[in-house]
Amino acid sequence: MRITSISIYAADLPMKEGAYSWAKQSFAAFDTTIVRVETDEGIVGVAEACPLGPSYLPGYAEGVRAGIGVLAPQLIGQDPTNLSALNAFMDLRLKGHPYMKSALDIAAYDIKGKALGLPVYDLLGGIRQDKVRLFKVVSRDDPGIMAERITAYQEQGFTQFQMKVGAGADTDIKRIEAVLAAKKAGNVVAADANCGWSQHEGIRVANAVRDYDLYLEQPCTTYDQCLAVREKAFHPMILDECMVDVPALLRAIQDRACEGVNIKIGRYGGLTKASLIRDLCLEAGLFMTIEDTWGGDIGDAAIAHLAHTVSSDMHFQSSAFHEYTTTRHAGGAPVIEGGFMRANGKPGLGLDVDWQALGEPLATFA
Residue-wise burial string across 200-237, b where 16 or more C-beta atoms lie within 10 A, e elsewhere: ebbbbbbebbeebebbbbbbbbebebbbbbbeebebbb
Contact status, residue 158 vs residue 135, Cβ threshold 8 Å: yes
Q: For the chain, how many helices (H) and strands (E)?
A: 13, 19
Q: Is 217 left (phi over 0), alpha (psi -120 to 50) or beta?
A: beta
Crossing angle of the two packed helices 223-232 and 199-208, in degrees rounded to 10: 30
Write the secondary structure of 282-316 as one string of H (helix), E (strand) and C (coil): HHHCCEEEEECCCCCHHHHHHHHHHHHCCCCCCEE
Q: Which residues pair with 14 in a beta bridge?
A: 29
User: Measuring CA to CA, which residue among 93, 94, 100 is closest to residue 6?
Assistant: 100
* pTM of the entire predicted model: 0.95
CA pair distance 154, 177, nearest whole angstrom: 17
Pairing relationship of beta strands 29-39 and 44-49 according to DSSP bridges:
antiparallel
Other CB atoms within 10 A of residue 88 CB: 12
Question: Are 122 and 113 in contact, with CB atoms under 8 Å apart?
Answer: yes
Taking a C-beta distance cutoff of 8 angstroms, is the pair 154, 184 a contact? yes
pLDDT at position 18 is 83
The Cα–Cα gap between 60 and 55 comes to 8
Top CATH class, 123-342: alpha beta
Domain range 3-117+352-365, its CATH number among 3.50.4.10, 1.10.10.10, 1.10.3720.10, 3.30.390.10: 3.30.390.10
SS3 call for 35: strand
Maximum CA extent, the chain: 60
* pLDDT value at residue 305: 98
Q: What is the per-residue pLDDT for 323?
A: 84
| DSSP designation for 325 | B
How would you write the pLDDT of the chain (366 residues) with one tens digit per residue? 999 999 999 999 988 888 887 777 888 888 999 999 999 999 999 999 999 877 687 888 899 999 999 999 999 999 999 999 999 999 999 999 999 999 999 999 999 999 999 999 999 999 999 999 999 999 999 999 999 999 999 999 899 999 999 999 999 999 999 999 999 999 999 999 999 999 999 999 999 999 999 999 999 999 999 999 999 999 999 999 999 999 999 999 999 999 999 999 999 999 999 999 999 999 999 999 999 999 999 999 999 999 999 999 999 999 998 888 888 899 999 999 988 999 999 999 999 999 999 999 999 999
- The DSSP annotation for 228-250 comes to HHHHH--S-EEE-TT--SHHHHH
Q: Coil, helix or strand for 274?
A: helix
User: Domain spans of the chain?
Assistant: 3-117+352-365, 123-342
Check if the beta carbon of residue 173 is closer than 8 Å to that of residue 206. Answer: no
**Residue 44 burial (10 A CB sphere; 0-12, 13-18, 19+):** middle
**By CB neighbour count within 10 A (0-12 exposed, 13-18 middle, 19+ buried), where does 69 fall?**
middle
Give the per-residue pLDDT at 315.
98
Provide the phi-psi class of 129: left if phi over 0, else alpha when psi is between -120 and 50, else beta.
Answer: beta
Phi, psi (deg, nearest 5) at residue 169: -60, -45
Is the distance from CB of 324 to CB of 302 less than 8 angstroms?
no
| Residues present in the chain in total | 366
Contact yes or no for 217/262 (Cβ under 8 A): yes
By annotation, the residues acting in catalysis are 164, 264
